[in-house]
Structure 1
Amino acid sequence: MRKYLITLIPVLMLSLQPDSRSTSAPVPSVTAKAPAADDLKPTMTQERVEQVVTQLLTRHHYRKVRLSDSLSAVVWDNYLKEMDASKVYLLASDIAAFDKYKFQIDDALVNGDLTAAFDMFNVFRKRLAERSDFVKQTLSKPFNFSADESYNTDREKAAWPKNLEEQNELWRKMLKNQALELKLTGKADTAVASLMSTRYKSLERRQGRIKSEDVFQMYMNAFGEALDPHTNYFAPRTADLFNQEMSQSLEGIGALLQEDGEYTKISDLVPGGPAFRSKQFTKGDRIIGVAQGDNGPMVSIVGFQVDDAVKLIKGPKGTVVRLQVRPATALAADVPKEIRIVREKIKLEEQRAHKEVIDITEDGRNYKLGVVTVPLFYRDFDAARRRESEVASTTTDVKRLIDSLKLQKVDGVVLDLRGNGGGSLLEAINLTGLFIQKGPVVQVRDSGGDTEVMADNDPSVTYDGPLAILVDRFSASASEIFAAAIQDYKRGLIVGGQTFGKGTVQQLIDLNNMLPKEQDKVGQVKMTVQKFYRINGSSTQHKGVTPDISFPSRFSAEEYGESAQASALPWDQIASTRFDATSFINDKLTTRLREKYEQRLKTDVDLKREAQAVVDFKKAKENTTVSLQESKRKKEKDDADKKVAALDKSGALDSETPETPATAKAKKKKDTYLIEAGRILSDMIALQGKVKTAMNSNN
């Protein structure tokens, strides 16, 4: 059996011949404006890399794409978003001037022409300098927080500023909003002015360090992301960081970071790390400021590249770093929160599966249930290659835990995969084998259409009792493969939220091996080459796994997960492979369990309040306009804090409640959704017991 690592990417060695299109007469470059003396310019090496990357992606990417005017327009639009996602730097007149490149990028990619990329960026660079001057002038005078005016924080669908006057007014309100956020955290006016000034001076210095390789990386990523969200070009400096593995370079807090426009976003939390254990972070949170120690000044990292952010966040074990964070679930009027973290080494034991026993009382009967939490799918491949007798892995740990729970005579088992972002595919297959006799687990299809069926061939079964799998929007990759197999075999009930929908495999190509004669290092490409399919033929890509019973969730498919990405590969279906489903779960049982859950949803205080809280949250999130009047904004904040306090009093706060300073204090240890998963499993045990009793009486 071949080993696939969903999160650790094997290197692909490819030999490329020149593209047939590049042997024809070269397409003339678009006439560009006369360059300024300080304009950034491409190197000859970058022009050659552009051609090689173009050949790679058009020939070997899973999505068989042809260069065309329509693709050119997507790359053009992506590049604008890479530069100015909030539409606050460039003017409408700049966009109109860039329009000449919109349908010529496809030809430029083939011919190693970077005129469009650098022409557009140099205009953007000029606008950056202009905004720096405006910021200095604006911050030299105090803001009037008594004026009744507002600001729309959502710039995604906004138009580009028509002229300088409109842009200045937009920036005045934007700066005022940022200052008011700081003021509402209790900072004095002088401190606010100082922090704002420091923030933008830091940003100005950062912008002044932008090099041609940064521009080239941005442009090539605009191309890669036109094919799918997981296809990227890494400039040499970024490639070095990637190869060090971000989880190791950020050993101090245990978080994986990525650039999201001008923000630094948490893409994952390393189980066992300080950030994970603090329970104050969520995937998708944006880190906007970093401070050293308990008294160091907060340095804004808005506009930083991720490697610059890493340099500030990482540090020696035992030292303190304070992070200013805008949560993924924050509403427009919410102020950023500050989180104090003590840098530590990641505790490996907290990355591993662990268990607990919970007691559930349902319909007057007590149930003892085992809960096995699986933070990720891990396997020590080095130990396996050395043929060591004991290899640390998810499967061996879960088997040991379940054997222990059987000795404790639990009535059923809940496997908690919430937040599990994946890991080793081999472990997803082996873990499935603990609950089925043997058979196929997943299908893997390559870009040529060839499909490999990967199976569990061990007929032994570790656990054949009542089983529920708890998932959420951040259960991804290997988690989805495991949950899908359990669902297809009808071996257990899937409960919780729709999963992430990451059903693709990437490979890493070292371009230095393809351009060995280049004196400069040339970076790497990460490219999507395969897709996963369930044994029933349905792809896990885009849709993920739909639970048999769904819980209310603040994390919508429109904002979180694979389906939130415009270029995500689509869901599709191939032929089902042959497999023998069990009789543990059937439609009649699932319908009855769903009815009992929906009845609790109407009557149970915790579930009822949580469902309403989700409705209220989604409604509040639609309002992206905030008041810039201090008294109004303070009232909005106080009202939100009171609502949190009321939820705490009722016991309705749970693991999905947005983290704010108020909720951090208010949250209780009670896990509403785990308890509900236990109730559903208890109902299943009772109903299956009744069925068995009826069958025995008939016999």
Structure 2
Amino acid sequence: MDFKLFKEMLKRILLVTFTAAVLACSAAPKPQQLVEGIPNIKPDEQQSLVCKEIVALIENYNYKKLTVNDSISSLVLDKYIKALDPYRSYFLASDIKDFEQFRSTLDDAFRAGDLSAPFYIFNVYSKRYNETLNYAMAHIKDKYDFNQNDTYVFDREKMPWVTSTAALNDIWKKRVKYELINLKIAGTAEAKNVETLTKRYQNLKSQSSKLNNQDVFQMIMDAFTETIDPHTNYFNPAKAVQFNEDMARSFEGIGARLQLENDVLKISEIIPGGPAFKSKLLNSGDRIVAVGQATGEFEDIIGWRIDNSVAKIKGPKGTKVRLKIIPVGQDMSSKPVIVELIRERIVMEDQSAKKEVKTIESNGKPYKIGIITVPAFYADFKAANAGDPNYKSTTRDVKLLIDTLKNKDKVDAIVMDLRANGGGSLLEAIDLTGLFIDKGPVVQVKDLKGNVEVSSDEHPGVAWSGPFGVMVDRLSASASEIFAGAIQDYGRGIIIGTQTYGKGTVQSSIDLNKLVNPSILQRLASLVQKGAPGSGLTIKGGKDTPQLGQINLTMAKFYRVNGSSTQHKGVMPDITLPSFYPMDKIGEDTETSALPWDEVQKSNFIAVANLAAVKPELVKLHDARMEKSLDYKVLIQGIADMKKRDQETSVTLNEGKLKSERDSLEAKSLEKTNKLRASRGLPPVKKGDKIKKKEDFDFFQDESLRVMGDFIQLKP
């Protein structure tokens, strides 16, 4: 997102006076909306308010300029039901018929802040979910005939909803049988398999029991906003924090990655350089059983949701946190060890840009090529605005890497690897482009009113003027496409890979607290202070202001300097490689609610070079290599096999047949692996052997480097 554009749009939004909302839901839940047999999760007043604000924002400021109507209500209902039960394994046909009463009313309900219908649907789902798990657990110890020729249909997306509990139970009994066969084929004893599967289902029930109204509200808003367009998203307060930390590539805490295992919080990784790392008191595998702040009592966190536990452990830098730890290898009944740490700002270096240097040979000549991998276009705006001279950003990191590659490593060319880079900060995409061009337009942005603004690199000079290439794939999106498109339009380098994702829309992150009348927030806060039952409000940092979350609202569209939108079409590479990701299932052109492709006027830019004569030669040399490449042939066959398997919806429950199929697939995979290893002069591996990291082979990267070798020799 362009930060300047965001600030301007936010200013416009804040000028609008929103009508003070009536906080109570406009319609009380109907009697038939009470679900028997389970504790019903209910919406709160905060969520009612947020829902109304989101409807108002979408109707007034979304790029599509639409009205939330009955048609959208119908689409939201279908999307919500599919999100809850994508393979039709929980709901009954009678449930779906019951939900039809809401098909044309969700639009009016959302506008009024009435969330009773989608919460009712969720509570029915929760009841069915627990019923099916209970049934499955009750039949794990049954005696199964693994020699029968029956099948388990695991993908029921296109099948009709089942009409009876008996039919649903039959599906789940077959699922239990399938999971037991899988465990049996793996070679473990029957008693152990029963124990493993029982724990698996118990964990599923445990996690389900921890869901709260924030989780349900998030799912409802996901279904709503994604119906409008794929990239308009609401983030509840916890998810908003996570989104902004991901963008900044930093957070404040102890520097440990955590995971939940059997209701106990476990340290999965210690982040180098953080307080946990420097203390040498914590290790991967340690379990955290209680958390205390600088003063006060410890809180036992066993059985807590992971996000609630993490919220207690994180905190402002410079503050103290105390942890009760069961060290790795010790029994849970052991006496906990108390560890005290001072929180710090943690920079996630492993998710930042990094470099490596590889040497290839082209026409008998060796060339050193620097590879810069950029996982996202990130920027710590908070640190930058606070005047931190060492704030984190993609462009700053890449500039340092280029300096090293150029002055120390003495590379002949550089390749930017943007594979699986889903985008991020548009401002960073502009600044990063500026490292390779000497000033000029980088991207055009068309706003809600049709006004087109050209964003340019204003910094003279380049960090790298030598041969340059950009690797992309189907998951390269948004800011990645702006960067790759600009490099291509300027003739600054060669784009290698597959057609990119095609996300050409601009989202502005809007803090909903800034849109709500302070008196309304004050009233919400008073509900918390009075301990209003079921209020579920989120208070930030002990303050009295409830946090409403944020919405990333689609408010503009990207265009390349040549006038073409990246929306839908993305960026077409100069050298095309096969796509390992299914092009018919991943990409903007597969999204029914996506905005269309269009054009604006070409901007006034001057190309660095004309590569029109070079590209056909590069394609010829690439094609000639592919004709002789065993890797290419294996890859193409692998993609075909994957497509075939992807079309399968059922699996045999005959142990002998299933084992034979698995053995055949493993044997074919091993044969392919050893053929490729032999072609590289590596020894064969046997079934079960682990391939050493240094022996890993990246076909896409290897061919990209060879293209760069050709480019160095052909470059005008």
Normalising by structure 1, we get a TM-score of 0.77
Task: Tell me the residue number matched to 2:659.
Answer: 634
Distance 1:568 1:129 in 2: 35
Task: Tell me the residue number matched to 2:697.
Answer: 670
Query: For residues 357-399 of structure 1, what are the alpha-carbon distances to aligned partners after superposition, in whole Å with 9 as ceiling and x for unaligned?
Result: 3322233443333333334334455665566776664434444
Are the aligned partners of 2:147 and 2:656 in contact in 1 as well (CA < 8 Å)? yes
- Give the AA of the match of 2:619: R
Structure 2 SS opposite 1:63: coil
Distance 2:130 2:697 in 1: 51
- Give the AA of the match of 1:35: L
* Displacement after TM superposition at 1:486 (Å): 0.1
Are the aligned partners of 1:49 and 1:522 in contact in 2 as well (CA < 8 Å)? no
- Give the AA of the match of 1:593: L
Distance 2:256 2:673 in 1: 28
Matches within 5 A, 1:544-693: 544-586=570-612, 588-651=613-676, 665=691, 668-688=695-715
Structure 1 SS opposite 2:456: strand
Work out whether 1:457 is the aligned partner of 2:458. Answer: yes
Structure 2 SS opposite 1:33: helix
Structure 2 SS opposite 1:444: strand
Which sits farther off after the overlay, 635-644 or 90-99?
635-644
Normalising by structure 2, we get a TM-score of 0.75
Task: Tell me the residue number matched to 2:482.
Answer: 481
Work out whether 1:426 is the aligned partner of 2:427. Answer: yes
Task: Tell me the residue number matched to 1:325.
Answer: none
**Aligned in 2, Cα 1:615/1:273: closer, same or farther, shift over 3 Å?**
farther
Are the aligned partners of 2:512 and 2:548 in contact in 1 as well (CA < 8 Å)? yes
Which sits farther off after the overlay, 185-194 or 28-37?
28-37
Q: How many residues align?
A: 619
Distance 1:202 1:66 in 2: 42
Task: Tell me the residue number matched to 1:361.
Answer: 361
Query: For residues 117-143 of structure 1, what are the alpha-carbon distances to aligned partners after superposition, in whole Å with 9 as ceiling and x for unaligned?
Result: 233233323323432332233223133
* Displacement after TM superposition at 1:80 (Å): 0.8
**Aligned in 2, Cα 1:447/1:273: closer, same or farther, shift over 3 Å?**
farther
**Aligned in 2, Cα 1:233/1:601: closer, same or farther, shift over 3 Å?**
same
**Aligned in 2, Cα 1:542/1:45: closer, same or farther, shift over 3 Å?**
same
* Displacement after TM superposition at 1:202 (Å): 3.0
Are the aligned partners of 1:32 and 1:119 in contact in 2 as well (CA < 8 Å)? no
Work out whether 1:222 is the aligned partner of 2:207. Answer: no
What residue ranges of structure 2 are gaps of 5+ in the alignment? 261-268, 274-283, 289-303, 315-322, 330-344, 528-536, 538-545, 680-686
Task: Tell me the residue number matched to 1:286.
Answer: none
- Give the AA of the match of 2:559: Y
Task: Tell me the residue number matched to 1:373.
Answer: 373
Distance 1:35 1:617 in 2: 45
Which sits farther off after the overlay, 427-436 or 664-673?
664-673
* Displacement after TM superposition at 1:273 (Å): 8.8
What residue ranges of structure 1 are gaps of 5+ in the alignment? 258-269, 275-291, 297-303, 322-344, 655-660, 693-699
Query: For residues 146-182 of structure 1, what are the alpha-carbon distances to aligned partners after superposition, in whole Å with 9 as ceiling and x for unaligned?
Result: 2222223223323211222221111111222223333
Matches within 5 A, 1:24-43: 33=32, 35=34, 38-43=39-44
Query: For residues 417-474 of structure 1, what are the alpha-carbon distances to aligned partners after superposition, in whole Å with 9 as ceiling and x for unaligned?
Result: 2233334333322222222222100122333333321111233233332221112233
Distance 1:473 1:685 in 2: 26
**Aligned in 2, Cα 1:210/1:12: closer, same or farther, shift over 3 Å?**
farther
* Displacement after TM superposition at 1:488 (Å): 0.9
Task: Tell me the residue number matched to 1:58.
Answer: 59
Distance 1:11 1:165 in 2: 58
Task: Tell me the residue number matched to 2:125.
Answer: 124
Task: Tell me the residue number matched to 1:186.
Answer: 187
**Aligned in 2, Cα 1:406/1:117: closer, same or farther, shift over 3 Å?**
closer
* Displacement after TM superposition at 1:74 (Å): 0.6
- Give the AA of the match of 1:190: A
Distance 2:53 2:144 in 1: 52
Which sits farther off after the overlay, 399-408 or 73-82?
399-408
- Give the AA of the match of 1:191: K
* Displacement after TM superposition at 1:308 (Å): 7.5
Matches within 5 A, 1:11-30: 14=14
Task: Tell me the residue number matched to 1:77.
Answer: 78
Give RMSD over aligned pairs. Answer: 4.3
Matches within 5 A, 1:154-173: 154-173=155-174
* Displacement after TM superposition at 1:498 (Å): 2.6
Query: For residues 488-545 of structure 1, what are the alpha-carbon distances to aligned partners after superposition, in whole Å with 9 as ceiling and x for unaligned?
Result: 1111110012323333333344444414232344622412333322112222234332
Structure 1 SS opposite 2:431: helix
* Displacement after TM superposition at 1:295 (Å): 12
Are the aligned partners of 2:469 and 2:708 in contact in 1 as well (CA < 8 Å)? yes
Are the aligned partners of 2:255 and 2:271 in contact in 1 as well (CA < 8 Å)? no
* Displacement after TM superposition at 1:676 (Å): 0.9
Distance 1:111 1:653 in 2: 67
- Give the AA of the match of 2:55: T
Are the aligned partners of 1:30 and 1:101 in contact in 2 as well (CA < 8 Å)? no
Identity, % of aligned positions = 40
- Give the AA of the match of 2:190: D
Task: Tell me the residue number matched to 1:535.
Answer: 561
Which sits farther off after the overlay, 615-624 or 231-240?
231-240
Task: Tell me the residue number matched to 1:466.
Answer: 467
Distance 2:11 2:258 in 1: 24
Distance 1:362 1:472 in 2: 25
